[in-house]
Amino acid sequence: MRTPWRTVLALSALLAALIGLAATPAPESFDFVILGDRTGEAVPGVYEQAWHEAAAGNPAFVVSVGDTIQGLNDATAEAEWREAQKIFRPYQRFPLYLAAGNHDIWSDASEKLFHKYSGHEPHYSFDYGDAHFTILDNSRSDDLSAEEMEFLEADLKASVAQSVKFIVSHRPSWLIPAALLNRSFPLHLLAKKYGVQYVIAGHVHQMLHVDLDGVTYLSMPSAGGHLRASMKYEDGWFFAQTLVEVRGSAVDFQIRELRPPHGEGRITTPKDWGVVGLSKSGAGRTAAPRE
């Protein structure tokens, strides 16, 4: 009995689709962007410029370290989230993963709004290719609670197969022990145990970097929240967006200061920075102009 031609075509199309899926490589090589705090007395226009420059590189997705709204007032919070959505709207093609900042969650009502507008719980995780990202919630405490640490360990235990691991939170709860080279604080012990390479935070609006036992700790520069203290570039006070290139298990960070009018477009790497500002080799280079 001859097979009807429509059936043959359908089977051929299905076979081609299956072959195409099998031939599609896993996204082991990809770029993503990290954005620092938008608020904490936001400087007008900075966050919009950071998004514009970040989008020019066509990243796979964007990770924010939090403080998306000014917040701290239940009565005005939803209106502020709606205003933030207007900024995101032109860039909807880029998945956005938000950490919860202290300006985002300060009450039960604000936590519900964060869930509504971010699309996820205050702590969560996701995979992209062979990379794993754990987003922690320390929005209402300088420390990571016992609940967060339990979530982190369970999440990392379930992701042992991923070769590249990032932990992201808003507050750098690790900053003092890492800067003091304390090798026994709980977060560091978990990071070492499960092979986490990068621990990333915001909150202080300053570029800081510590390497400890193969774990790189980074405090990201501001993407709009006001600059503090000396406000000198060499001390880590500048507006930026950070491009992260993942090539298998190799990861490279380009900390890209915003171009004029909110910066000079200098590009550095984490190794150019320490806990007290630029290292001796950290002059950086200027980005080539890009439309």
Tens-of-pLDDT digits for all 291 residues of the chain? 444 434 433 444 444 344 343 333 457 899 999 999 999 999 999 999 999 999 999 999 999 999 999 999 999 999 999 999 999 999 999 999 999 999 999 999 999 999 999 999 999 999 999 999 999 999 999 999 999 999 999 999 999 999 999 999 999 999 999 999 999 999 999 999 999 999 999 999 999 999 999 999 999 999 999 998 778 999 999 999 999 999 999 999 999 999 999 999 999 999 999 998 898 655 556 654 444
3-class secondary structure, 156: helix
Please report, for the domain that includes residue 61, its CATH number: 3.60.21.10
Is residue 9 domain-resident? no
Q: What is the pLDDT of residue 23?
A: 39
* Half-sphere exposure (Cβ direction) of 62: Cα atoms closer than 13 Å: 25
| Longest CA–CA separation in the chain, Å | 84
Domain count, the chain: 1
Q: By residue range, what is the domain housing residue 158?
A: 29-280
Residue 6: inside a domain, yes or no? no
Q: What is the pLDDT, as a whole number, of residue 281?
A: 59
36: its two tokens? 């620092």
CB of 96 within 8 A of CB of 61? yes
- Quick one: CA dihedral 228, 232, 236, 237, positive or negative? positive
Residue 177 placed within a domain: yes
The answer to whether residue 146 is domain-embedded is yes
Q: Give the pLDDT of residue 255.
A: 98
Query: Residue 14 falls within a domain, yes or no?
Result: no
In a domain, 5, yes or no: no
User: Do residues 265 and 285 make contact, with C-beta atoms less than 8 angstroms apart?
Assistant: no
Query: Tokens 């691991």 map to which residue?
Result: 165
**Range list of β-strands (E), the chain:** 29-35, 62-64, 96-98, 124-128, 131-135, 164-168, 198-201, 208-212, 215-219, 240-247, 250-257, 266-268, 273-274, 277-278, 285-286
Q: What is the pLDDT of residue 2?
A: 42
pTM: 0.89
Its sign, for the CA torsion 274, 201, 134, 127, is negative
Residue 7 lies in a domain: no
Containing 53, the helix (H) or strand (E) segment is helix 46-56
> Which phi and psi (to 5°) does residue 22 adopt?
-65, -30
Residue 270, SS3?
helix
Task: Say what the pLDDT of residue 14 is.
Answer: 40
Domain assignment present for residue 22? The answer is: no
Residue 155's Cβ-count burial label (10 Å; 0-12, 13-18, 19+) is buried
